[in-house]
Amino acid sequence: MTDAIRFLLNGEARVVEGLDPTTTVLEYLRGRERLCGTKEGCAEGDCGACTVVVAEPDDNGALTYKAVNSCIRFLPTLDGKQLITVEGLKGADDALHPAQQAMVDCHASQCGYCTPGFVMSLFALRHTNPSPSREDILQALAGNLCRCTGYRPIIEAATRMYDSGSGNAFDAPTRQTAGRMGQFDRLVGLRYEANGHEFIAPRSLDELTAVLKQHPQAHILAGGTDFGLFVTKQHRRFDRLIYLGEVAELRTVTESTTHVELGAGATWSAVLPLLDRHWPSFGELIRRFASPPIRNSATLGGNIANASPIGDGPPPLIALGASVLLLGPDGERELPLDAFFHDYRRTDRRPGEIVALIRLPLPVPGSEFAVYKVSKRLDQDISAVCGAFALRLQNGLVAEARLAFGGMAATPKRARLAENALVGRPWNAATVEAAAVALARDFTPLDDMRASARYRTLTATNLLRRFHLETTGAANARIAYG
Ligand SMILES: Cc1cc2nc3c(=O)[nH]c(=O)nc-3n(C[C@H](O)[C@H](O)[C@H](O)COP(=O)(O)OP(=O)(O)OC[C@H]3O[C@@H](n4cnc5c(N)ncnc54)[C@H](O)[C@@H]3O)c2cc1C
Ligand code: FES
Ligand code: FES
């Protein structure tokens, strides 16, 4: 017996059966619904041509709108939600939505291939931010590529769409729509099966634990921003997926006087305000992590479990002294995050275990922290090197040092020799130079398409110097380094 997938497509209810659980939302829209406004460019979350919006009620019953990439989003993850596509934006009187009208008025489209994706990103911006700054607009569009028009008129459209005030179909009756979505409520999680492939979406930690015990070999799906590519690029098929996105406990973010606890199912978008508050440089890094549609889906747990040597989350988390809580059939266990990574894509995770929580100590007096991402492009690019630096200074001496890097080894990794060269010494240019020599011995990086080994080593040592400059003051630094 299989459940059907139920959701609102624009304003209409849909009940879907018989499609493989890894059917992407984009395939469904274009193939089954013949809604071809949503385009396929890259099929890997990079170009934004496929952007759609997913709406869900928040705790107060109002709808939240999130732009996502439909090319790497699996259809069953829409269960209980509303999917909004470019075809659904027009009002009852056929009036264009302000985002569409502004694109027309500003001549912000030529070939039009990218245009529906831009419109959907603008739509999400308009309904989540009542008065965006230019920086907010650039951020909102960071995941959309246009090869014809150029961005100036599109950015102008982003400003102009606010001129028309309210009056579009999405300004008022969102509570009514949220109410309609109540018809999809489930007491227990979705169990969907098609073509012999199963998709299980537990709704609580208890349900999840039972499912993990029953199926320890099942594949885990969170935001799907890595996983989606296993399907669209590697053409893999999966017998059984356990989806974490409906387990509210995994998304919880809590803060005590000494620690923050970040649920592994929290998205990077959701934790960004907290990171900004405690570690602004970490927030800055995450604003350069992919694009808003990716960050709206991508989770912390997925970034850690994926164990990419160039993942951006692990270096700052390791430098800040994070520990990771694993939950499995035999209960919970906690270990320092740096001990979680064994070798290239090999971790301490056992069958049936998931990454459940990340625990981070809050800054204490005397602590300094910064993380830097070096990549070829500012937005939507993978790091060549990511360097994170955390120190505790006491009476001018380095009392503790944790330096962690991505892109320098087969795993995210601490620079132990450099750390040893810092601890107990004054935080000055001479100490930093000695630590830079040690840092060059900590790693034997690879040459690849992103950077040469020599570039990586030079960059890592220069990032250490930069950290010193920023924590001691630029004038000081000019004297120190000439
Ligand atoms: C266009 C694009 C740009 C990107 N840019 C960046 C970037 O700038 N920096 C960066 O670091 N990454 C980037 N990524 C990679 C990706 O977005 C992140 O790694 C993301 O955090 C993965 O989280 P997810 O929830 O989507 O994981 P998923 O894709 O759902 O899963 C990833 C892997 O982890 C496993 N998994 C997921 N959650 C858990 C869990 N809780 N416990 C155990 N196993 C789990 C899955 O089985 C899978 O093997 C990018 C990806 C795309 C498509
Ligand atoms: S098709 Fe390029 S981001 Fe989806
Ligand atoms: S209008 Fe052609 S790619 Fe943007």
Task: Kindly tell me the burial class for residue 203, based on how many C-beta atoms sit within 10 Å of its own C-beta (0-12, 13-18, 19 or more).
Answer: middle
Q: Mean pLDDT over residues 449-457, rounded?
A: 94
What DSSP state is assigned to residue 283?
H
Confidence category of residue 179, pLDDT binned at 50, 70, 90: confident
User: What CATH architecture does domain 90-160 belong to?
Assistant: Orthogonal Bundle (1.10)
Fold of the CATH domain 367-481: Enolase-like; domain 1 (3.30.390)
pLDDT digits (tens, 9 = 90+) for 379-403: 888 999 999 999 999 999 999 999 9
Q: How far apart are CA 283 and CA 295, in angstroms?
A: 12
pLDDT, position 292: 97
Closest ligand, as measured to the CA of 114: 3
Q: Where in the chain is the domain with CATH 3.30.465.10?
A: 251-361
Specify whether the CB–CB gap between 264 and 35 falls below 8 A. no
Q: Where in the chain is the domain with CATH 1.10.150.120?
A: 90-160
Q: Mean pLDDT over residues 428-445, rounded?
A: 97
pLDDT, position 177: 85
Ligand 2 close to Cβ of residue 67 (< 6 A)? no
Q: Mean pLDDT over residues 199-225, rounded?
A: 97
Specify whether the CB–CB gap between 406 and 312 falls below 8 A. yes
Pocket, ligand 3, Cβ cutoff 6 A:
109-115, 146-149
- Count of alpha carbons within 13 angstroms of residue 125, beta-carbon side: 31
Statement: residue 476 has pLDDT above 70? no
pLDDT digits (tens, 9 = 90+) for 87-115: 999 887 889 999 999 999 999 999 999 99
pLDDT digits (tens, 9 = 90+) for 358-375: 999 999 999 999 999 999
DSSP labels, 390-454? EEEEETTEEEEEEEEEESSSSS-EE-HHHHHHHTTSBSSHHHHHHHHHHHHHH--PPP-SS--HH
- For the chain, counts of helices (H) and of strands (E): 18, 20
Ligand 2 centroid, distance to 346 Cα (angstroms): 29
pLDDT, position 475: 47
Beta-strand ranges (E) seen in 58-210 are 63-69, 82-84, 190-194, 197-201
pLDDT, position 473: 83
Ligand 1 centroid, distance to 228 Cα (angstroms): 9
State whether CATH 3.30.465.10 applies to domain 251-361. Answer: yes
Edge-to-edge strands, sheet with 63-69: 12-16, 5-9, 82-84, 51-57, 63-69
Q: Which of 50, 144, 225, 242 to mutate to test the pocket of ligand 1 (most atoms within 8 A of CB)?
A: 225
Tell me the CATH class for 5-87+174-243: alpha beta
pTM over 0.85: yes
Percent above pLDDT 90 for the chain:
87
Rounding to the nearest 10 degrees, give the CA dihedral for residues 8, 13, 19, 21. 40
Kindly tell me the sign of the dihedral angle through the C-alpha atoms of 271, 299, 387, 372: negative
Q: Where in the chain is the domain with CATH 3.10.20.30?
A: 5-87+174-243
Q: What angle do CA 297, 301, 305 make, to 5 degrees?
A: 115
Burial 366-398 (b: 16+ CB within 10 A, else e): ebbbbbbbbbeeeebbbbbbbbbbbbbbeeeeb
Strand partners, 240: 198
Task: Kindly tell me the burial class for residue 33, based on how many C-beta atoms sit within 10 Å of its own C-beta (0-12, 13-18, 19 or more).
Answer: middle
Q: Which of 69, 294, 379 to mutate to test the pocket of ligand 2 (most atoms within 8 A of CB)?
A: 69
Ligand 1 close to Cβ of residue 224 (< 6 A)? yes
Q: Where in the chain is the domain with CATH 3.30.390.50?
A: 367-481
pLDDT, position 16: 98
pLDDT digits (tens, 9 = 90+) for 344-354: 999 999 999 99
C-alpha distances (whole Å) from 188 to each of 182, 205, 213, 327, 474 are 14, 12, 17, 20, 58
Longest dimension (CA), the chain: 73
